[in-house]
């Protein structure tokens, strides 16, 4: 078991993927942000009438997916070919669930892009609502599915969503 982002002497490096054939890749990441009941109602109501918190968070998440290699030191620069972010408002649990799907044909996976988009979408919801609720909590940011590449298919079932 070894961490590929370090060489034998323990020096951090960007792993060499130049010999890998480009294949079709897909990653799905999830995450959630929980808040006070009044905050989630405010977000839900504004979606329809005035001021769309989730619309702004979706744009922020999509833009962040493209900037992943600038943020995560050992990530390869990639030309992702698709980003989709879906929000699910669970009013009973006072939680918004985020699900991001990223696709690409290339030499390396797009997990970090999906995870980063999810985190930044959640942070943007926090920013838009922090004037009324400082106690929101971002949780469960994790990889849900992954397809393509040498390591094959990965699928996980979140206990928290179970």
Which of the residues are catalytic? Answer: 127
In the structure encoding, which two tokens stand for residue 89, read together? 């408002």
Determine if 91 is a binding residue for a copy of itself (CB under 8 A): no
Spatial distance between the Cα atoms of 129 and 64, rounded to a whole number of angstroms? 19
Query: Within 128-157, which residues bind a copy of itself (CB under 8 A)?
Result: 128-132, 134-143, 146, 154, 156
Query: Within 112-131, which residues bind a copy of itself (CB under 8 A)?
Result: 112, 115-116, 119-120, 122-124, 126-131
The angle at the Cα of 96, spanning 35 to 59, to the nearest 5 degrees, equals: 110
Query: Within 31-90, which residues bind a copy of itself (CB under 8 A)?
Result: 31, 38, 42, 46, 49-53, 55-56, 58-60, 62-67, 69-86
Spatial distance between the Cα atoms of 50 and 43, rounded to a whole number of angstroms? 10
Determine if 94 is a binding residue for a copy of itself (CB under 8 A): no
Q: Which residue matches tokens 């999509």?
A: 62
CA distances from 113 to 19, 63, 91 (A): 22, 10, 28
Determine if 12 is a binding residue for a copy of itself (CB under 8 A): yes
Residue 92 or 157: the one with the smaller Cβ distance to a copy of itself is: 157
């Amino acid at each position: 078991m070894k961490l590929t982002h370090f060489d034998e002497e323990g020096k951090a490096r960007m792993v060499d993927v130049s010999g890998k054939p480009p294949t079709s890749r897909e990653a799905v990441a999830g995450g959630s942000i929980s808040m006070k009941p009044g905050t989630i109602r405010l977000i839900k109501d504004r979606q329809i009438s005035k001021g769309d918190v989730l619309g702004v968070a979706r744009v922020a998440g999509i833009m962040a997916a493209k900037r992943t290699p600038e943020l995560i030191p050992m990530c390869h620069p990639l030309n992702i070919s698709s980003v989709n972010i879906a929000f699910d408002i669970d009013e009973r649990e006072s939680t918004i669930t985020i699900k991001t799907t990223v696709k690409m044909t290339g030499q390396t996976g797009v997990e970090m892009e999906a995870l980063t988009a999810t985190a930044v979408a959640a942070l943007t919801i926090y920013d838009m609502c922090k004037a009324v609720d400082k106690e929101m909590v971002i949780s469960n940011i994790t990889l849900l599915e992954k397809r393509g590449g040498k390591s094959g298919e990965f699928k996980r079932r979140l206990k928290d969503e179970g």
